[in-house]
Amino acid sequence: MRTFGVEEELLIADPVDGKPLALAAGILDVASGSGKGPEDAPSLKSEFKQEQIEVNSRPCGTAAELRDEIRLGRWLADSAARTVGARVAALATPPEFHATPTLGNQRYAVMGTEFGLISREQLTCGFHVHVSIESPEEGVAILDRMRAWLPVLLALSGNSPFWMGADTGFASYRTQIWNRWPTAGPMDVFGSADGYRAVLEDLLGTGVPLDEGMIYFDARLSRGHPTVELRIADVCLYAEDALTIAVIARALVETAAGQWRQGEPPSDAVTNLLRMSNWRASRFGINDQLLHPADQRPYPAADVAGALLRHVRRALTASGDLALARSGVARILKRGTGERLQRQAYAKRLRLADVVAAAIASTHEYGERSDVGLARR
């Protein structure tokens, strides 16, 4: 069984007016000095902006373990944030925001200077799933064979309709902001680990990306771990949706690896068409049609989500996650993703602060066992 884990980028917000607060350093100081949580717990770290905090789960073998990690990680971050007068919300973009300078480490400072307004406006929160691999060669074979399915994960996670105080009309406007980085988006077929390294070396040779950490493909080989890292999704408002996407991501990796072992060729999807698929998932989420990975033509979102589940059914069955994935996708299709709740909250009084308040509440709703994982303290 492949291990898997997640990175959740969370927004630090004022619980009263909903505006982002640049308090990441203070939250990390509190978390490191308070002794909150067990040692074998998710870790907190700073991100590109001081208005966000990243929660990293430990590698997990089962969905139940990862569910506890996600819930506990959100609790740890929010508990530390409360100490400095803030809350954390799983929002992929802040509803109200003004461009701010990039603080933090020296690398981020250089990026802030080099990339101008792109850096100053880069307050977006993503959801990254890491799935273990046996070798770089296997990892690249997986990247080549799952690339056409990644936009469906984006649609299932859409959680960023507001930007700079306005409803953008998008389910995931974070995708539009993020894709301004020069290396972001879908990738061509690499063919081999050597082919992957050659592409990276060519990109770095241009002098545009500062380093390999700025290779922002929708999915890539992790630099620091023996994993494939799927990076396309918005951070999910609901913890259960995050778990659903993570188990499907693991199954997608295992399915692609199986295709490689059986000699099936990589996806022949044209990268420009994958950009269209990403754009449509970003614009409409699950509320309209998505492009089907088989032919890049529009079909109802529920049909495309069903095709994804059928594609990874064998892997989900083997991991024991088939029922969880099916019920999770059904719940998302019926209830909507985070973008729907945000718009509903705004519609009541036309107040962006209400959007953030509703998001804070939903970020920390954990279903029938709200104390899952916390007993480990």
SS3 letters for the chain? CCCEEEEEEEEEECCCCCCECCCHHHHHHHHHHHCCCCCCCCEEEECCCCCEEEEECCCECCHHHHHHHHHHHHHHHHHHHHHCCCEEECCCCCCCCCCCCCCCCHHHHHHHHHCHHHHHCCCCCEEEEEEECCCHHHHHHHHHHHHHHHHHHHHHHCCECEECCEECCCCEHHHHHHCCCCCCECCCCCCCHHHHHHHHHHHHHCCCCCCHHHCCECEEECCCCCEEEEEEEECCCCHHHHHHHHHHHHHHHHHHHHHHHCCCCCCCCCHHHHHHHHHHHHHHCCCCEEECCCCCCEEEHHHHHHHHHHHCHHHHHHHCCHHHHHHHHHHHHHHCCHHHHHHHHHHHHCCHHHHHHHHHHHHCCCCCCCCCCHHHC
Q: What was the pLDDT predicted at 102?
A: 65
What does the block give as tokens for 90? 């799983």
* 38: pLDDT strictly greater than 60: no
Task: Give residue 40's pLDDT.
Answer: 74
pLDDT band at residue 374 under the 50/70/90 scheme? very low
Task: Label residue 308 by pLDDT band (50, 70, 90).
Answer: very high
Task: Report the domain count for the chain.
Answer: 1
Other beta carbons within 10 Å of 85? 12
pLDDT at 177 over 90: yes
CA dihedral 308, 309, 311, 317 (to 10 degrees): 150
Cα separations in angstroms, 254 against 143, 145, 312, 374: 11, 11, 8, 31
pLDDT of amino acid 284: 98
Phi and psi, residue 300, nearest 5°: -55, 140
Closest CA to 233 of 252, 219, 221, 253: 219
| Structure tokens belonging to residue 137 | 């060669």
Is 52 a member of any domain?
Answer: yes
pLDDT bin (cut points 50, 70, 90) of residue 366 is confident
Does residue 332 lie within any of the structural domains? yes
What confidence tier does 317 reach under pLDDT thresholds 50, 70, 90?
Answer: very high
d(CA 37, CA 217): 33
Report the range of poorest mean pLDDT among 110-119, 150-159, 257-266, 357-366. Answer: 110-119
pLDDT, position 375: 38
Higher-confidence position of 251 and 375: 251
pLDDT at 34 over 70: no
Q: Is residue 286 part of a domain?
A: yes
Phi, psi of 201 (to 5 degrees): -65, -35
Q: Cα torsion for 188, 312, 339, 53, to the nearest 10°?
A: -70
Greater confidence (100 vs 266) lies with: 266
Mean pLDDT value across residues 298-313: 98
Residue 215 inside a domain? The answer is yes
| pLDDT tens sequence across 73-105 | 999 999 999 999 999 999 999 999 877 766 667
Mean pLDDT to the nearest integer, 352-374: 78
Is the pLDDT at 48 greater than 80, yes or no?
yes
Round to whole Å and give the CA distance between 229 and 177.
Answer: 20
CB under 8 Å to 232, separation ≥6 — which residues?
150, 151, 153, 154, 175, 218, 219, 278
Q: At 157, which CATH number? A: 3.30.590.20
Q: What is the model's pLDDT at position 368?
A: 40
- In the prediction, which pLDDT does 42 show? 93
Q: Is the model's pLDDT at 369 over the cut of 50?
A: no
Residue 47's pLDDT is what? Answer: 87
Q: Would 377 be classed as within a structural domain?
A: no
Q: Does residue 49 sit within a domain?
A: yes
Choose the weakest-confidence range: 143-157, 327-341, 362-376: 362-376
On the question of pLDDT at 315 being above 90, the answer is yes
Residue 162 pLDDT > 80: yes
40-44, 167-171, 199-203, 261-265: the lowest-pLDDT one? 40-44
- Considering the chain, what is the average pLDDT of its residues? 93
Q: Tell me the mean pLDDT in the region 209-231.
A: 95
Domain that holds residue 58: 4-372
Q: Which residues contact residue 213 at a Cβ distance below 8 angstroms, ignoring those fewer than 6 apart?
A: 107, 223
